[in-house]
Amino acid sequence: METAAHLGLDNQQFIVRSPAMQKLVAMIERVAQHPVSVLIQGETGSGKELVARALHKYSLRSGKPFVDVNCAALPEHLVESELFGYEKGAFSGAEFAKPGLFELANGGTIFLDEVGELPTKVQAKLLRVLDSVPYFRLGGSRKIAVDVRVIAATNRNLETEVNNAQFRRDLYHRLGNFQLCVPPLRERPEDVIVLAEHFLAQHCPAARLTKQALATLQQYRWPGNVRELQNAMLKTALKAKPGITRIDAHDLPAEICGASEPPTSGIFEGTLGDMEKEMILQALDRHSGNQGQAARQLGISTRTLRRKLERYRMSDHCNYKITSLGTLNELQQRYYRVNVETPVLITDSRGGQAQAISVNVSCGGIAIRGGATLERGAVFELEFALPGMEAQFQIKAKLAWTSPGGSGMGFVDLHPALEQQLRRWVLERAQLDGWTASELAGG
């Protein structure tokens, strides 16, 4: 059994064992180094705040303040004054000036939980802050400039709210430079075990969960996610007798014990079309939502698979959703780097050749190590193959940068068909890491 990763975040623990969450942690480490805003999506209680704290911890701002704000808990008439501060006499009862939460987070990170609850007026002011525009405190005459990284979270579908004009489109895109999605607990049963054991050990260090108890916990749907699991283990500990060493299924809260699904007969009931759909969805589950790998397993083309999925999505009978841990916008798709080592043959304008090894590849260029000394600005012919692709790539590239460890080359005059193939390969590899391409057009 894989060991769990324990990340210490202040007084909290970020504990993961499932492949999905391990991918998410790798994403967090990668995204944290960028200074741009991040939008975290996920159900209530799934761990969005811990993701935000991890982003801050791994960032260059880790030594600066981390200020968390629950936007849903702020009264609507106080949201603006709490976030941006107010001056003495700005309103009845304002007997002294008060800095806003953005000022308190200056140099660090502000976490806006349930950002979808912000009133439209505050959304407009937040957008200006994200664009580094100085703002006024409520009732103030002096502009305030802050350097703050914004991390926002929501359990709502903001794309739907944007399309329904309930959330500003420009703010959605500005907040979602990077989008991360925390999977619900029911989709990561491996984490149920390690989290349950962790929460139980906090209250009954000597007690252990039996196999039957663990199986019951994994069968439950956990609508309240990690927060509900934590409360369930607290209830279990409070009911336990002093000195108990075994926690069985019947020792768990009643609502959890009664929630396991009855076993199925193993006989498929439905039409031939239903069976086809079930096979497609199982293949996608087996390959973590990767359409290319699922299509190869099923013996059909990726285009056929996508057409069938589109038909399923249009019906009311399919609730399947491909697991996504993060979203790449159009610009990020172009510069997403896939770490891959493959031989690269470099040919210069005079016909001279040198061998190198790739370090990473993106839609716009390639990083290499080894090879002869290359002339900056010169155009070279590169020839290389990529894992999983039969075609050999022949691409013109120009030297962009050099370092003692290698060089970077930007692709030039890339044929549209070749560019499409490369982009598809990069996005498939990104999808294996849990990323999907943004489908919402910019506004």
Res. 246: pLDDT tops 90? yes
Same domain, 11 and 149: yes
Under the banding of pLDDT at 50, 70 and 90, the label for residue 242 is confident
The string of pLDDT tens digits covering residues 217-228 is 999 999 999 999
Overall average pLDDT of the 169-182 stretch: 93
Provide, for the chain, the percentages of residues in helix, strand and coil under a 3-state DSSP scheme, each rounded to the nearest 5.
40, 20, 40
Spatial separation of the C-alpha atoms in residues 239 and 236, rounded to whole Å: 5
* Domain annotation covers residue 331: no
Q: Give the pairing type, strands 353-361 and 338-339.
A: antiparallel
Same domain, 9 and 35: yes
Let me know if 156 is exposed, middle or buried by CB neighbors in 10 A (0-12, 13-18, 19+). Answer: middle
Contact by Cβ (8 Å): 217, 252: yes
Q: What SS3 state is found at 118?
A: coil
Same domain, 66 and 104: yes
**pLDDT winner (highest mean) among 11-20, 194-203, 383-392, 409-418:** 194-203
Rama region for 41: left / alpha / beta (φ>0; ψ in -120 to 50; rest): beta
Contact by Cβ (8 Å): 134, 128: no
Overall average pLDDT of the 354-360 stretch: 90
Under the banding of pLDDT at 50, 70 and 90, the label for residue 257 is confident
Under the banding of pLDDT at 50, 70 and 90, the label for residue 238 is confident
Overall average pLDDT of the 126-143 stretch: 91
* Domain annotation covers residue 110: yes
Quote the domain boundaries for residue 252. 186-257
What percent of the chain stands above pLDDT 70? 86
**pLDDT winner (highest mean) among 136-150, 244-258, 337-351:** 136-150
Res. 316: pLDDT tops 50? no
Give Cα separations from 112 to 37, 127, 149, 252 (angstroms).
11, 13, 11, 35
Write the DSSP string, 247-276: E-GGGS-HHHHTTPPPPP-S---S-HHHHH
* Domain annotation covers residue 82: yes
Name the residue among 68, 132, 143, 59 with its Cα closest to residue 101: 68
* Domain annotation covers residue 213: yes
Name the residue among 142, 154, 55, 59 with its Cα closest to residue 103: 142
Res. 422: pLDDT tops 50? yes
Name the residue among 90, 89, 105 with its Cα closest to residue 52: 105
* Domain annotation covers residue 370: yes
Res. 259: pLDDT tops 50? no
pLDDT value at residue 414: 80
Contact by Cβ (8 Å): 82, 117: no
Same domain, 154 and 10: yes
Q: What CATH number has the domain bearing residue 86?
A: 3.40.50.300
Res. 429: pLDDT tops 90? no
pLDDT value at residue 333: 81
Domain count, the chain: 4
* Domain annotation covers residue 272: no
Same domain, 356 and 226: no
Same domain, 297 and 365: no
Same domain, 80 and 221: no
Same domain, 54 and 171: yes
Q: What CATH number has the domain bearing residue 400?
A: 2.40.10.220
pLDDT value at residue 260: 40
pLDDT value at residue 174: 93
Same domain, 160 and 199: no
The string of pLDDT tens digits covering residues 37-50 is 999 999 999 999 99
Task: Give the range among 109-113, 284-288, 317-321, 380-384 with minimum mean pLDDT.
Answer: 317-321
Overall average pLDDT of the 350-365 stretch: 90
User: Where does a domain end: 155, 181, 207?
Assistant: 181
Average pLDDT score over the chain: 84
* Domain annotation covers residue 130: yes
* Domain annotation covers residue 34: yes
Same domain, 35 and 168: yes
Task: Give the range among 94-98, 288-292, 406-410, 423-427 with minimum mean pLDDT.
Answer: 288-292
Same domain, 212 and 153: no
Overall average pLDDT of the 180-209 stretch: 93
Give Cα separations from 177 to 36, 89, 174, 433 (angstroms).
6, 38, 6, 18
pLDDT value at residue 193: 95
Same domain, 55 and 69: yes
Contacts of 221 (CB under 8 A, 6+ apart): 186, 259
What percent of the chain stands above pLDDT 90? 46
